[in-house]
Each structure stands twice: as C-alpha cells, then as structure tokens.
Amino acid sequence: MKLYYEVIVIDRQGKVILRENRESRSWVMAYNQLVYGGMSSSGQSVKCTDGLNRTQSTTYDLLLVSRPAGYDNRGCVVGSGTTPVAVSDYKLNTHVNHGTGPGQLEHYECTIIYPPSVSGSQCSFRVKRIFHNASGGPVTVREIGVYASISNNYDACVIRDVLGAGAPIPHGGAITVIYTIRAIA
Amino acid sequence: MRVSKSETEIGLWIAVKVTDSNGKVISRQRRRKSHSYVQGWNWAVCAQFLGQSTPSPTLGLVKNTAGGNVNLRTCGSPFRCNAGAGTTSTGIRVGTDNTPVAITDYALKAPIAQGTGPGQMEHQAQTFAWIGVAGNVCSFQTERVIVNNSGAQINVREAAIYMTVFYPTAGTEICACRDLISQDVPDGGSVTVTYTIRIVA
C-alpha cells in the first residue's frame, strides 16, 4: 500500500507560493499496532500523542481521522520540527496548535474524500485539511502527519513526514495538506 | 535491522509452506512481496478513517466475499480476521484458481471449502504474532494452517485474507488481499500461509 502527500501553500490573495507532492516517508508504529489489534481482536498498548501508553479499542472508534474545525488533536496535523522520521514516532516533533496566537494556525475540518476510487490497477482515497494563518506573523511548517483515534478519547500518530523544504505561510495565507492512501494490484 | 527505504514500501509479504502427512516440509515459498492488497482493504481503512460509532456515514457500495454489494460503514469489529478452527468466513483462505490478481478482486476465484470431502480442506485457527520494531521496520504476522484430509492431492493456487467489515445493518466479510501461489498439497499434508504486514520508516 502506497502513501503520498501533497502540500500547497497560498498567500492571502490565494496565489500558490509553494507546492510539494511526493511519496510519504512513512506510516509509523501505531498504525501497525491498531491494525494488528483489529485483525486479532487483541487490544495493544499504544503510545498516544501525549506520550502515555493506553490499550486500544478493538471495536468502535479505531483509526478515526475525520475531525471538525477547531480541533488539533486528531486528523491531519502540522508542526515545525525537523527531526527525521522514525518508525517509533508517536507525535509530531513540534506540533502547531489550533488558534490565532503567535505560531498558531486555524485548523479547518479534516475531511476524508471518499468513496475510494479505482483507476486501472489502483484504488485510492484521500485525507485533506486546510490550516489558515491568522496569527499576525509568518508560521513555517516543516513536518506533517496524521493523528488517529485508538479509542473513544485518545489518539496516536499513524503517519509522519518531514517536508523537503520548510513551508513558510504568510499571515493571511494557508497550507493545505492532502494524503493519498493507495492500494496497487 | 535497518532496511533501505529505497528497497521497500509499506508492505504486505507472503510465505507458504507445505508439509506431507509426516509433517516433513516438502515445499516452501520463501517470503516475498504479496501481489497486493485489493480494493476491499482500502475501503475498510477508509471506513475507519471516516466514521465513528454514532452516527457513522456510509461510503458506498462495495462487493463482499459473496459477491453482494454492501454499503460499507465504520465497523464495530474492524479488520477482524481471527477465525477459529473450521471457520471460513474470515481469516486466511486458499483456492484453486490462478487468474491474475486485479485490484477489483473481491474473493478467491475458486475457494476451497472447509471439510474432509473431495477438494475440501480443514482450516485451523488463525494465529497472530506481533514482531515489533527492529531498526526502522515495524511488523507483525498472521498465519493459518490448512490441512488436506480429503483423500487426494489438492493443488492450491491462490490465497487471500477475508476480514469483517460492517454495513448499516450487519457485519459482512470482504477480501483484503489476494495472491497467486502454486503448491500441491498431498493427502494428509498441510499448507501454511503466513502474511507479514510491515512498515518501513
């Protein structure tokens, strides 16, 4: 299964000032734990984004990624860290929080673009989120990822990438993050 | 163990072993990259990404392993394939057809039924093993032994994982992956299929 991301940065006039489209570095450990737990019906102890280990659900609320606007604890997330990706990563290096304060970005709704579509030998769907900069100054995004639920109340990092180049978002601008999850036969 | 990212991808691997009636290994297909997940897997992941228990939106129609169209939604037992002995609705299955894999495959082409009659095999319980992290790799395995007590050789040509998903009124099963294998299983022998799910950072 392949994973790709696309990052698009626009200025306050809506002009595209940066676009990066490449294969994702990686799913990380929690994804495999959550799938393992689901397949085997044996809940795993998963390190959550707050650094604490908790037992995953093997029923509902497993791998939920969609999230309404204003929440920065689930769905696509962005950060400013540059630490290389490791399979044991459990959060972004330096998470950018939701808000309009210095260094913050407004998190729009995280949407799943579905149903999965088949084209040739591929089947794909996408995860998308827009982050708007109303902080009053530039905010530079250097890492992106996806946080997913392990149970009703807790989340784990399942994807993390460090961008090829930092994405400076001017005040009034926005960054759109799109992940494409693709099965290829 | 450190695996070069350029040599790998987020992957599914398959290994197959055949024993005779004395338990001696007579054929082995060493671990190789699985041909592929099929669309059912991506639908199941998408359903989980999208939904929550209440309410749970539906994704649209996808074929279950019986060939019926089901309107998939978030599952209360996602990806489940911990089949017990004798169960063939979920877990690893094998079949006798060698039609090439397509992304739209929704079942084995010619699945082998549970039993000891002609052309049938006995399915043992599916097992799981968490391997964990080694270097930049994180993996786990799931395996099933399927025994031939039919009285004659059975030529196994395909393998797959069936798992539970959910549609608005009940659970159903979809095919997560399909692979072609070529193993002749003698009477009294068995075939062991091992899938490894591996991510490389």
With respect to residue B31, please indicate whether it lies within any of the assigned structural domains. Answer: yes
Q: Extract the tokens encoding B107.
A: 């079942």
With respect to residue B1, please indicate whether it lies within any of the assigned structural domains. Answer: no
Which pLDDT score is estimated for B6?
Answer: 46
Which pLDDT score is estimated for B52?
Answer: 60
Name which of A60-74, A136-150, A159-173, B65-79 the model is least confident about.
B65-79
Which parts of chain B sit beneath pLDDT 70? 1-10, 52-56, 167-169
Number of domains composing chain B: 1
List strand residue ranges (DSSP E) for chain B, in order.
11-19, 25-33, 36-37, 58-63, 69-73, 91-95, 122-123, 127-134, 137-147, 154-167, 170-185, 190-200
Helix (H, G, I), strand (E, B) or coil at A32: helix
| B36-37 and B58-63 beta bridge pairing | unpaired
Which pLDDT score is estimated for B108?
Answer: 98
The tens digit of pLDDT for each residue in A101-157 reads 999 999 999 999 999 999 999 999 999 999 999 999 999 999 999 999 999 899 999
- Closest alpha carbon to A140 in A83, A82, A86, A100: A82
Q: Tell me the whole-structure pTM to 2 decimals.
A: 0.94
- Residues on chain B touching A182 (C-beta within 8 angstroms): 42
With respect to residue B105, please indicate whether it lies within any of the assigned structural domains. Answer: yes
Contact criterion met (CB < 8 Å) for B50 and A114: yes
With respect to residue B193, please indicate whether it lies within any of the assigned structural domains. Answer: yes
Which pLDDT score is estimated for A33?
Answer: 97
Which pLDDT score is estimated for B44?
Answer: 92
Contact criterion met (CB < 8 Å) for A182 and B82: no
DSSP structural state of residue A61: S
The pLDDT-based confidence of A173 (bands split at 50, 70, 90) is very high
The tens digit of pLDDT for each residue in B49-77 reads 987 655 667 888 889 999 999 888 877 78
Could you tell me if A63 lies within 8 Å of chain B, comparing CB atoms? yes
Which of B42, B45, B54, B130 should one mutate to test binding to chain A, selecting the residue with the greatest count of A CBs within 10 A? B42
Beta carbon pairs, A and B, within 8 Å: 161
pLDDT, chain A, mean: 96
Query: Which element (helix H / strand E) includes A77?
Result: strand A75-79
Check the CA dihedral B144-B11-A47-B161 and report its sign: negative
Could you tell me if A111 lies within 8 Å of chain B, comparing CB atoms? no
Check the CA dihedral B85-B87-B91-B94 and report its sign: positive
Domain hosting residue B162, numbered range: 7-200
Which pLDDT score is estimated for B157?
Answer: 98
Residue A31 has phi, psi (to 5 degrees) of: -60, -50
With respect to residue B2, please indicate whether it lies within any of the assigned structural domains. Answer: no
- Closest alpha carbon to A80 in A168, A152, A159: A168
Which pLDDT score is estimated for B180?
Answer: 97
Contact criterion met (CB < 8 Å) for A26 and B199: yes
Between A9 and B171, the higher pLDDT residue: A9
